[in-house]
Structure 1
């Protein structure tokens, strides 16, 4: 029994990833139309990275509530929003369908081999990162409502973006993400 537990523990991938305050790993990924998007093209901007998987019940719940759409629309023109799908079996056409269903005005990027997800240690969908001028300023959950049952919800990404745009310090810069595990290869 002990060997089985040790074997299971050793088989769990360790994701070190980037931490708040560190330089955000640059990447170039194709969007839902096959066009390359490179993070460093937005080096002087605030960028939200949203790890997503259209099949995840947590993502579907936020899709139904339009959490990401409303937030990305609120900050349109002030913030660059990019969704990243690191699901190893997802395709460009899956991402295009997701973008249409979600009515997202932002790109859905394909990270099929999981290189970018692992560089960020993205663990769940959704898992959110806010990058400010190339530095990770926030990492964690979208909000404090993993069960979807709260009426008063604290949206951590909204708070982080609001603080950054006002030139203030982010009060909560790291939280535990919740959702489905990222389906790495």
Structure 2
């Protein structure tokens, strides 16, 4: 455990991540009070989603059901979806404990298997997560296939969803065909993560 914590701290001192790089390891508590780590999910395809319930950009995707539909699409393709909240105590979107996380999952109608609490922001900083929402797709080898925004139109307007390219779905489709992700990194948009 101590070695893992040292590795996490050392990783946080490195530069920004890029597609193809190893996804940083983390251990976080989920909505059931269980510890979840990338090590435990080794060999699985994973989507990480940074979340803040009060962010209008997050609201755009959840209130329109676009996020839930994207989650369902990922699950059908064999992905494990992890929603991460890195809001600190007293900041917008802060979620106090596992019970509050469970209620948020239910209220959102989220399809995420795990809602992870990162109140100290350690995992968010490891991934250099800047916005909510921000997405990372990790392959079975633990490497990043995609990182960035959920789609191509950086607005909080729900009417833009139908016109936008959903980068997450596009990446998952390309991976399913055995192709390299054509747009592996995009600029994330949304509210700043409230560290």
What is the TM-score normalised by the length of structure 2?
Answer: 0.82
Structure 2 partner of 1:7: none
Tell me if structure 2 keeps the 8 A contact 1:25–1:119: yes
Tell me if structure 1 keeps the 8 A contact 2:32–2:102: yes
Tell me if structure 2 keeps the 8 A contact 1:29–1:109: yes
Residue in structure 2 matching 1:123, options 116, 130, 137:
130
1:48 counterpart = 2:47: yes
CA pair 112-15 structure 1, distance change in 2 beyond 3 A: farther
Residue in structure 1 matching 2:190, options 150, 154, 179:
179
Structure 1 partner of 2:32: 33
Tell me if structure 1 keeps the 8 A contact 2:17–2:128: yes
Shift >6 Å, 4+ stretches: none
Q: What is the CA-CA distance between 1:26 and the residue it aligns to?
A: 0.9
Tell me if structure 2 keeps the 8 A contact 1:48–1:79: yes
- Runs (5+) with no aligned partner, structure 2: 1-12
- Runs (5+) with no aligned partner, structure 1: 1-13
RMSD across aligned C-alpha pairs, in angstroms? 1.7
What is the TM-score normalised by the length of structure 1?
Answer: 0.86
Q: How many residues align?
A: 171
Q: What is the CA-CA distance between 1:156 and the residue it aligns to?
A: 0.4
